[in-house]
Structure 1
Amino acid sequence: MNDSTGPQSASQRALPVVGEPRPERADARRNRLRVLEAAERLFTEHGVKNVSLDAIAAEAGVGKGTVFRRFGDRAGLAVALLDEREQELQARIISGPPPLGPGAPPVVRVTAFLDAYLDLLDRHVELFMDSENASDGARYRIGSYHLWHRHLSILIEEARPELDADYTGHLLLAPLAADLHHALRSGGFALDRLKTGLRAAAETILRPATG
């Protein structure tokens, strides 16, 4: 991060980088993104388990061998797509504009993150469910969970120093479990309702103590 931009907040200084991609040739990156975007479209339309590598390759305009060499199989491609979208959210948190990025009050940044994560979760809930249920406790071992928890804990500490920021970070992430989100959406909960409810809960928890 460029230090010439001025003082950094605690969240800018301490937030780790998770899953940073290795350098790649421009043409290789273009092909990778074409495949990921094609997979995203087809997964959204048909469901992850109903899409073949052949269909993804045709949609992306590349050979099946290109997809196979880069991602291995459909599961590997699904993991890569989720990783790409989580890295994009991470970049917006670290260096994007407020309120998601630096520059907004901590409570505003917390609610902006919750909104942004719900959008991502809603678009890719099947991918998240596969990732979080890969093994017992998988959700809590993956690097992205630790990143989101660290981000929230830092902001909670800034907003309410007297709270247990570590625990409260886990508390705010609990409603973002993919299985719960899928169950609620399948039960008729609109995305806006979930956003409004979680935002209200976070604002209530982080409201400054009075008296």
Structure 2
Amino acid sequence: MRMKAKGWLIAIAFCIGAWLIQNGSQHITPPTPSAAQALAAFSAGWHTEAAADPLPPSEPVRFRIPRLDVDAPVMGLGLAPDNSLVVPPAADPDLTGWYEDGTAPGAKGTAIVVGHVDNADGPAVLYHLGTLKKGHRIEVLRKDGRTAVFTVDAVEAYEIDDFPDQKVYGPADRAELRVITCGGRFDARTGYQGNVVAYAHLIGVRE
């Protein structure tokens, strides 16, 4: 998979789905979030939790989604010569990455964490991202020893051509997080045709 940059980062634009291709499973796709998990949809009785004060910047070292049994190391990601975001090696399905020239998770602004949905061997670290629901927790252990705790505000799926750059990557006045992987329709020639994005904000810190 590949992420491009123009002004700000845009969607993961190339997700080949080699596992689906080699197994002839083009009609199997990763879980897709329901309409109830969209930013504009609010279930009765559900309220977003108050935001915690942002932390000073510190690089992340582990990324956790307890509901999905995700507990993964984090590597820093920069830009390639073509101005695309370098992504974690596909050979390591349990590795996540963060855009290290952007906002650190827990600091003020919009932090970006990405991970593969699959590789040639099968599902990868963020295969089940589309099953997250509002109010679920995401945790980021940072180099300063603090764990930034986020709550999920929404999970949405987008076609690549309709990816809402400003909505996903735009600046924030509080500590926010976007978690992105591939998803949506699958084409054996060009790979996944969309992305799944989880939106979250900081609600607490564990020392």
TM, length-normalised to structure 2: 0.24
Q: Which is higher, the Rg of structure 1 or of structure 2?
A: 1
Flag the structure with more relative contact order, 1 or 2, with Cα contacts below 8 A and sequence separation at least 6. 2
Whichever structure has more strand as a proportion of its residues is 2
TM, length-normalised to structure 1: 0.24
